[in-house]
Amino acid sequence: MTKNYDVKDLNLAEQGRKRIDWAEKEMPVLRRLRERFEQERPLTGLRLSACLHVTAETANLARTLAAGGADVVLCASNPLSTQDDVAAALVAYDEIPVYAIKGEDNQTYYQHLGAALDHSPHITMDDGADLVTAVLKQRPELIENLIGSTEETTTGVIRLKAMAVDGVLKFPVIAVNDSDTKHLFDNRYGTGQSTLDGIIRATNVLLAGKTFVVGGYGWCARGIANRARGLGANVIVTEVDPVKALEAAMDGFRVMQMAEAAPLADFVCTATGDIKVLDAHHFDVMKNGAIIANSGHFNVEINIPALEAMSVEKRQPRPFVDQYVLKDGRQINLLGEGRLINLASAEGHPSAVMDMSFANQALASEYLRKHQGKLANGVHALPKEVDREIASLKLHAMGIEIDELTAEQAKYLSSWEEGT
Ligand SMILES: NC(=O)c1ccc[n+]([C@@H]2O[C@H](COP(=O)([O-])OP(=O)(O)OC[C@H]3O[C@@H](n4cnc5c(N)ncnc54)[C@H](O)[C@@H]3O)[C@@H](O)[C@H]2O)c1
């Protein structure tokens, strides 16, 4: 790549800057961190390659890391999630090299990853572990300089733990997703709202009175199920974990196998991190006109090759809607090519929730720097104090005050003598 960026159109930069500034207003915790980073410059001298969804919120993270002294480059963590105006603004106004174009093909996606790694990073930041995978498989010479990595999402953490088990993870990684102030809020409230937003923007179909099937009842799927119910849909949950299934049932959802739910569904949305949650035998029994989408990390939750093979025609009635016509004439509408629908057809999570996720990312980079050479190879969580600090800052920004333990209460809660 000859130039040190690859974005769709630099003329979009002004619009992108407005979008970034708009998001920043909802990100008070990250703003506080940025002010501290400007003073303390904790990341001075570090090259940092980030592979994240290139959104306005990520731009605010990139600015924060740069304010801390890091030399940042950014590539996309999904071919469909880039906001082209934001990518242009980061290049034009913040001089942060970005390699990301919405709709890029797989080959370009991996070229962009390679360009981010050409930066010879001291820290990599991932959303799905593609960058770390590329380091291990194609660029092992980079490991020598790596202080460590950070990982944003559940699927990435699962992949990293599998690398650790296989003994190939030769540096420490901070599982940002495992912070309470990340998955409890981002995965649940962020994915909940933005997934429904994506489905509605792509289709403009009324949800009230419809049957909406959610694949999974983990953090993301809980959010989706609850928001779909809030819009008046009849929600069915499918699960493989008996505890989660029980929780869904006691939360008031119908719970059944996907084979039973599929023929009832007006909508199916998966968010499991698993493969083929919706498969050929489900397409076989689905209603004409059913709408299917995914909000899990990879586009493997819906078996798209099987759907292609079963179809005689594929149309695009609206952007982000692929209408597959099956041999018997039924139509199944796949949204956003089965990729994270909240980022494909909407704008990803609202800024207020990414405020906490990205505060964790910024603090994770600082933590890696401070503990350079002291962390064992493998996957680590951030200390609980970081969660408490982020939650306190967020509450403060929301104007919420909470009680403090009195000395007597603190003593009581750490003692065992007093009983009935
Ligand atoms: N769309 C987004 O912006 C976004 C945000 C955060 C996480 N994610 C991704 O969403 C996915 C889920 O993340 P999470 O944090 O909710 O994970 P989680 O581990 O909390 O939940 C996943 C759930 O799916 C269930 N499951 C697995 N296989 C299943 C199957 N075949 N059928 C039904 N249920 C099944 C599991 O039992 C579990 O309860 C991951 O891929 C994650 O990376 C997406």
pLDDT score at 156: 97
Average pLDDT over residues 262-287: 98
- The tens digit of pLDDT for each residue in 170-179 reads 999 999 999 9
User: CA 276, CA 269: separation in Å to the nearest integer?
Assistant: 12
* CA–centroid distance, residue 141 to ligand 1 (Å): 33
pLDDT score at 420: 84
Average pLDDT over residues 33-42: 98
Which pTM does this prediction carry? 0.95
Query: Residue 313: which residues within 8 A CB-CB, separation 6 or more?
Result: 324, 325
* CA–centroid distance, residue 197 to ligand 1 (Å): 18
Lining residues, ligand 1, CB within 6 Å: 153-155, 183, 187, 191, 215-221, 238-241, 244, 271-274, 277, 295-297, 340, 342
Residue owning the nearest CA to atom 31 of ligand 1: 277
Q: Is 72 left (phi over 0), alpha (psi -120 to 50) or beta?
A: beta
pLDDT score at 408: 96
Best residue among 177, 187, 339 to mutate for probing ligand 1's pocket (most ligand atoms within 8 Å of CB) is 187
Query: Residue 38: which residues within 8 A CB-CB, separation 6 or more?
Result: 67, 68
Q: Is the confidence at residue 1, as pLDDT, over 50?
A: no
Q: Which residue has the tokens 């989660």?
A: 244
Ligand 1 atom nearest the C-alpha of 128 is 43
The mean of the pLDDT values for the chain is: 97
Percent of the chain's residues with pLDDT above 90: 98
Best residue among 179, 240, 272, 341 to mutate for probing ligand 1's pocket (most ligand atoms within 8 Å of CB) is 272
Distance, CA of 24 to chain centre: 18
Q: Is the confidence at residue 2, as pLDDT, over 60?
A: no
pLDDT score at 257: 98
Which pLDDT band holds residue 295 (cuts at 50, 70, 90)?
Answer: very high
Which pLDDT band holds residue 418 (cuts at 50, 70, 90)?
Answer: confident
- The tens digit of pLDDT for each residue in 370-413 reads 999 999 999 999 999 999 999 999 999 999 999 999 999 999 99
Average pLDDT over residues 59-75: 98
Average pLDDT over residues 50-62: 98
* CA–centroid distance, residue 154 to ligand 1 (Å): 7
- The tens digit of pLDDT for each residue in 347-356 reads 999 999 999 9
Which pLDDT band holds residue 419 (cuts at 50, 70, 90)?
Answer: confident
- The tens digit of pLDDT for each residue in 76-127 reads 999 999 999 999 999 999 999 999 999 999 999 999 999 999 999 999 999 9
* CA–centroid distance, residue 270 to ligand 1 (Å): 8
The strand order across the sheet containing 267-270 reads 254-255, 234-238, 211-215, 267-270, 290-294, 331-335, 321-326, 311-318
* CA–centroid distance, residue 399 to ligand 1 (Å): 32
Q: Which residue has the tokens 């119910």?
A: 229
154: which 2 tokens? 């559940």
- The tens digit of pLDDT for each residue in 132-186 reads 999 999 999 999 999 999 999 999 999 999 999 999 999 999 999 999 999 999 9
* CA–centroid distance, residue 302 to ligand 1 (Å): 13
